[in-house]
Each structure stands twice: as structure tokens, then as C-alpha cells.
């Protein structure tokens, strides 16, 4: 009986750890890009994709709350640029929904691990 109980607990722990891993990973796709854009929108930033000579591929206009990303970037590069910009702007977490908060917490955790 005790062995069966331990096997059940181990199975449940494995399930929740794999569930946590699946929920906390992200893909470089249009859905993730849209979610990141919504984080900026909720914080009253405008994300624009324009042509320009940006050394880093993006520009942040703090006074106007505008983020400009190189329009020739593919989806993956756009996501990486928006992630880089997160450290430069003030994000009010109280304005975000659950999905957005989880994504930002995931990015913060990944930055700590690196």
C-alpha cells in the first residue's frame, strides 16, 4: 500500500513538473509577438515597425512612449528586440493579465539563469 502511494505521488510530481515546463516555454511565432506587443500596449506604449538605421535594430522614444523596431526583421528578431527593450522601459505589472505576467516572469527567470 505504501509503495503504491509513493508511486502515485511520484507520478503526480512528474506530471506537474512537465506541465510547468510546457506552460513556461515559448515559441518564436506570431502569437508570442502579439502577446509581447500587448504588454507594451497595456503600458501605453506604441510599437511601430519602421525602416531606419538602428544600430541595435530598435529605438525607444521614452518621452512619447514609442518603441520602433526595424521593419525588415523576421518574427524571431522582432521578439528578441521587444524582449531587449523590456529592460529599458518601465512596465506596470498591475496592468497586465495572467498570460502577460507569466510571460514576463518567464523572461525574468531566464535572464537570471543566464
pLDDT at 9: 42
Residue 49 within a domain: yes
pLDDT at 110: 82
Domain that holds residue 52: 27-113
Residue 11 neighbours by CB under 8 Å, 6+ apart? none
pLDDT digits (tens, 9 = 90+) for 6-39: 344 444 444 443 333 344 577 899 999 999 999 9
Residue 88 within a domain: yes
| pLDDT: which is higher, 111 or 13 | 111
pLDDT digits (tens, 9 = 90+) for 33-57: 999 999 999 999 999 999 988 888 8
Residue 52 within a domain: yes
pLDDT at 26: 77
Residue 5 within a domain: no
Q: Using 50, 70 and 90 to split pLDDT, how confident is the model at 113?
A: low
pLDDT digits (tens, 9 = 90+) for 53-94: 888 889 999 899 999 999 999 999 999 999 999 989 999 999
Beta bridge partners of 114: none
Residue 22 within a domain: no
Helices (H), the chain: 2-24, 30-42, 75-86, 98-113
Collapsing DSSP states into helix, strand and coil, what is residue 66? strand
pTM of the model: 0.74
* Structural domains of the chain, count: 1
Residue 80 within a domain: yes
Residue 2 within a domain: no
Residue 84 within a domain: yes
Amino acid at each position: 500500500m505504501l509503495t503504491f502511494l509513493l508511486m502515485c505521488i511520484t507520478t503526480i510530481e512528474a506530471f506537474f513538473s512537465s506541465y510547468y515546463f510546457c506552460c513556461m516555454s515559448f515559441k518564436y511565432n506570431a502569437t508570442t509577438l502579439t502577446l509581447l506587443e500587448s504588454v507594451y500596449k497595456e503600458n501605453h506604449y506604441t510599437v511601430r515597425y519602421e525602416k531606419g538605421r538602428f544600430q541595435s535594430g530598435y529605438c525607444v522614444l521614452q518621452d512619447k512612449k514609442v518603441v520602433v523596431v526595424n521593419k525588415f526583421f523576421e518574427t524571431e528578431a522582432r521578439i528578441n528586440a521587444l524582449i531587449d527593450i523590456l529592460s529599458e522601459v518601465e512596465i506596470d505589472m498591475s496592468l497586465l493579465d495572467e498570460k502577460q505576467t507569466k510571460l514576463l516572469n518567464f523572461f525574468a527567470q531566464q535572464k537570471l539563469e543566464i
